[in-house]
Amino acid sequence: MRQDLRGVVTLTIDRPAVRNAFDAGLIAELTLAATRLAQDDQARVVVLTGAGSVFSAGGDLNWMKGMAAHTTEENHADAVRMNAMFRALWDLPRPLIGRVNGHAIAGGTGLAAVCDIVIAVEGALFGLTEVVLGLAPAVIAPYVVRKIGQSHARALFVTGELFDTTRAHHIGLVHEVVPDLDSLDDAVAGSIRRVLKAGPRAVGVAKQMPERVSVPLDDATTITPGVIAGLRSGPEGQEGMAAFFEKRPASWVPHEPAVAPTSDQSARSAAGSDES
């Protein structure tokens, strides 16, 4: 995890030898990282990416092979831990940008689905391939369906087919496709700059709004007036409106265009494997 002085955090899945597939160790580390970032008021935006040429190949097959020999109860506990990872990333009260630098398969597609903004390099493949193994994309289903809708999810869930960035963009899994890694970095940097212009608390509230208003209209419209009233009367809203009328940057906008990182630690599993 690398965090710079602007509060930009880069969280890298660092298991390139196994195509950044995740096992129990990596799941625990990603969950812990997301939990800590949720409590870190200095963190303004988080970028999730993979080391090397792959974003994530999903579950490590050697780890999955070991779990196949466990009881149903043990597998259930393992799935609960996996969901805790996805949920911690989904609930992160900071903008989460998916820097998809290569293939994102199965659980890797799930990781893309929990990101608020997804930018992918052309040539990356996606796929909800669990059915090919006699499984189902169960743990990631709530997040994938929320991102792409039931129609696209059903079509991709039952075939397990791989699909490219064009289709990923069409169905809403990916928001921007770029031709190469240099363009990927430029696009991510542009998203970061835009997010850093926004109020940190307002961003956290705004991120929750689609979920909060996905209820019957009468219920949704009882929520929204209180949300905007609280923001308008709060210190961040007062500062933001004052900055707008005074034609100056708000106090939360970084003055430095670029800064050196303050720490660097990649997420990795303690126990690697030879295959993914």
Low-confidence ranges of the chain (pLDDT < 50): 258-265, 269-276
Which class for 52: exposed (0-12), middle (13-18), buried (19 or more C-beta within 10 A)?
middle
**pTM value surpassing 0.85:** yes
Kindly give, in sequence order, each residue whose CB lies less than 8 Å from that of residue 19, ignoring residues fewer than 6 positions away. Answer: 52, 54, 56, 57, 103, 276
* pLDDT at site 271: 32
Span 14-35, pLDDT tens digits: 999 999 999 999 999 999 999 9
Q: Are 120 and 177 in contact (CB under 8 A)?
A: yes
Span 135-156, pLDDT tens digits: 999 999 999 999 999 999 999 9
